[in-house]
Structures are given as structure tokens and as C-alpha cells.
Amino acid sequence: MAKQIDPCTLVLFGASGNLSRIKLMPGLFRLDAAGRLADDMKILSVGRSELSRDQWQAEIKGMLDKKFKDGYDQKVYDRFIARNHYHSNPPTDADSFQKMAAKLGDESIFPQNLAYFLSVRPTDFAVIVEQLSGVGLVDESKYWRRVLIEKPFGTDLPSAQALQAELTKYLKESQIYRIDHYLGKSAVQNIMLTRFANTMFEPLWNSEHIDHIQITNNETLGVGDRTTFYDATGALRDMFQSHLLQTLALVAMEKPADLTPDSIRAEKIKLLQSIRPVDTKNLNKQAFRAQYAAGRVCVGDGHGENVTGYLEELKRDGIESSHTETYAAVKLFIDNPRWKGVPFYVRTAKRMHEGNTAISIRFKKAPMELVAGQHQNWLTINIQPRECIKMEIESKIPGLDVATRTLSIDAPQRQQGDETIDSYETLMLNLMEGDPSQYLHISEVEAQWRLVDPIVKAWAEDKTPLHQYTAGNRDPQESSVIFESQDQFWRYSIELGGDKH
């Protein structure tokens, strides 16, 4: 059931940037078309350029024309475009925030519940909040005021805590919405419902029945034109620290008391704080890193493309050497009764043989092994590119002899006629609804950085040349050093038979 949304004004900072043009403005249009915006909801776009309202509305039309090439409903367009206003906020204008406050203060145009979306550089987060506070635009004495902050929230634990300290000079924790767009994906949200809405899963969701769990995010893409950013970040901080640890929390957390945001958040926080710190003295047995070398990757339709290696890409941009990982695999344990002794293998990499994001759960050996080499059961929740749930079970091959084969039960999550919702649409709607369950609480952010920081530090101090893996290949064989037993292996595509090296 759709929630009732208070009339509000969405104030979009960075409105002329790529995120706004490609995701946010088209997403808001789709929400309007679906009838999910309050009738008198307004959008105030904030940009550096001097534009009239008419000029900005013409730009919005261009964004929508580019996104919806098959056209769109004129009635919806007329309603949506009427919601949109523009405010010029050049950095040279010392009074721009006073002018913004004056504009927003016109209650005949703008609802006074204000949601701010800060699609800006991380260095601007605290600056903008301070300026909003200085003109009374985050005060909640009469109306609610919420601030959505794009990732990253800090680059390590001290910087995250410093940013939090700056923000909480002016905002309560309940006003801060730290985005992880990954959590807006329907397939990620489905992880929790798959567990708790099905009686057949939850009794088996523990160390008595599960051998290990793999959480994977692999891409065929390289770093592209993000060399400077990526080399200062690496796979561990880019994907592992945020998206993949959040996915792990949903997979492993205890059942919340109910589906309220506070209950869901509480269990995620408890789980993240229960992950055992990595033993950096034995890091080589718990974590593996590598960089992609030149190779050949699939670009779709069965075609291949020769690509250069990471170090060559850096040299092209003037960076002579690097110890930054483009492949990271970490073994984690959770210190609670449910998961005692169960390894969680979390990996992310660029320039792999396939792009795939999935949770793969291997169950323990069956109580009866009818034939030698009998396979163990798997449950795979695939997030992208195909949203589906797959189970693999053993079944007798018809005939006189006793022999088994693996049967695949494959259920697509997305069926014909289902809505296609972008993660940003979900998260913007949650912001306006006041639902923070798919946003990060500061306790989650701190727990994730506490886990990652020691690994980042140990890797930064280790100047041993990184292992090179050929672009377009599967995981480096050397990465198997983190496995707990010799019969464990990286799970690949959900296609049957594509699971082993």
C-alpha cells in the first residue's frame, strides 16, 4: 500500500549535474506519472548558472526527451513541469542562501516541509548544511526538514566521524539520510523478504545447515576515465565498504521485530557490529587483492574487445605506479550463535569475465551421500543483470542405476508487467515519506569503516607488487588462499555448469 506523503518541497542541489539529468529528474517524472507525488509537491533546482524558470523548464524537457525516446504523457508532463522552479546559487554571491530562504518562504508556492538532495562534492556537504542552518532552513520547530547526502560519507572512520560532527552541529541524526543507492534496488530489498516471508528458508538459515555464503559484485568494465578517483579509492572502499557490507547485513541479520525503519536498522547495526575484525597479522589468509592486466573482455552480443591493463591506464594519465586493488576478496566471520564458524566470502572486481551481482549460499553436505561426488545444494539470489532466485537440488536420474544429477529451479523475480523502478526513484520517495530504512545510520557507517580501515592500512603499508590477473578471465587462482576448505570454490554465473573453475 502506498504511503501518504506530506506536501513538501524537494530542493535539489547540483541540479545541472549528470546525476540529476540522467537519474533524478527523469525519476521524479516517473514518480509523478505513477501518482506517487503529493498534488502540491514542488521541486526547487539549485544550480550555479543564471537561468530563468522558463529556461530551466526547457532544459528539463530536454532531459525527459532524451530519457523517454518513445514519448510521454502530455498531461503528466504539464503537471510535472509546473512543479519545477529554479534558484541560481553562484559561489560568488554571498547572499544566495538568504535569497533562497526568501524564495522558499513564499508559502503560496512552496510547501514548508523541505527535503534537500545534496548531489554535490563531498567537501560541500557540511558547508551547504551550515549555510542552510544560517538562514533557518533546517529548523524543525514547525515543519520537517531532511537532508539527503550522497556517498561517500567519509573516506575512513576518522573522516566519517569528522563529517558527522560537522553535520550534527545543525542537524539531528533523524534528519540525515545517507544514501547508498544500492539499497534502493528491488532485488536487494527482496533479500530480506525472501528470508522472512518463506517458511522453508529461515529454519535452514544458520551454521547448522549452511557451509558458506558468497557475496559477489563483478564487472566487465574497467575504471574508464575515473583513474585519479579510483586510484585514491580502490575496490575495497569503492564497493566493499558500502554496497557489499550492506548486502551482507541483509543476508545475515536477525528477523526485525517488525518492518518499521527503526526495527530494520537496529538489526542491521547489530549484525555489522558483530562482524569479527580482520586479523591483519594473518591478512594474507583472510584477504586477497590484485590488479587487472591487459586482456580481452566481452562487450555483449558475443563480441570481444582488447583492453589495456590498469597500470597502463594510469600511466596514460600521468600516474607512474600504483598499489591500488581492482580486485578484492575478503573472508569474514560473524560472532553470534546463528553464524558461528560460517565463512562469508565477499569479493568485488573489475574487468572480469562476466558482470554479475549475486548472493550464493552453499548448504552443507546431505546426511546421505548416494553416489560419489554428489553435489551440495545451492541457493542463489541474483541481483543483476538478471533478477532471479535459483535453487539447485540433487535428483535421481531415471533408470536402473542409482545416480543423481543437479536440478535447477529458476524463478525470475521480474515478470512481465512488473514495474521497472530505478533505485533513485525508490530512495527519493523514501526521503519524502520519511522512511530511513534504506539509508545508512551513522552506526552502520562507523561499523563498516572500522572493519575496512585496518585492511586498507595494512595494504597501504605493504609495497609488494600486486598480483596481475588477465582482463576478461575468472578469479585469480591465487585468491583461493582465503577459502576455509579445499572443496570450496568461487561461484560464477547462475547458469548450471558454470559454477566451478
- Active-site amino acid positions: 243
How many angstroms separate the CA atoms of 196 and 359, rounded? 16
The SS3 of residue 330 is strand
| Helix ranges (DSSP H) in 317-421 | none
Q: What is the distance of C-alpha 290 from the center of its chain? A: 22
Q: Is the C-alpha dihedral spanning 25, 30, 31, 35 positive or negative?
A: positive
Q: What is the DSSP letter of 171?
A: -
The SS3 of residue 449 is helix
Give one word for 58, left, alpha or beta, with left for phi > 0 and alpha for psi -120 to 50. Answer: alpha
Residue indicated by cell numbers 575495497: 236
How many angstroms separate the CA atoms of 143 and 490, rounded? 51
Residues in Cβ contact with 449 at an 8 Å cutoff, skipping those fewer than 6 apart: 154, 156, 157, 160, 241
The enclosing H or E element of 231 equals: helix 227-235
Helix-helix angle 423-433:25-33, to 10 degrees: 70
Grid cell of 412 as nine digits? 525470475
Q: What is the DSSP string of 237-265?
A: IIIIIIIIHHHHHHHHPPPPSSSSHHHHH
How many angstroms separate the CA atoms of 361 and 359, rounded? 7
Contact 118, 146 (CB under 8 A): no
213: nearest Cα among 330, 47, 49, 116: 330
Going from the C-alpha of 196 to that of each of 192, 246, 250, 339, the distances in angstroms are 6, 17, 11, 17
Going from the C-alpha of 176 to that of each of 152, 269, 281, the distances in angstroms are 14, 16, 37
Total Cβ atoms within 10 A of residue 158: 11
Cis peptide before 337 (omega within 30 of 0): no
How many angstroms separate the CA atoms of 430 and 481, rounded? 42
| Distance between first and last Cα of the chain | 45
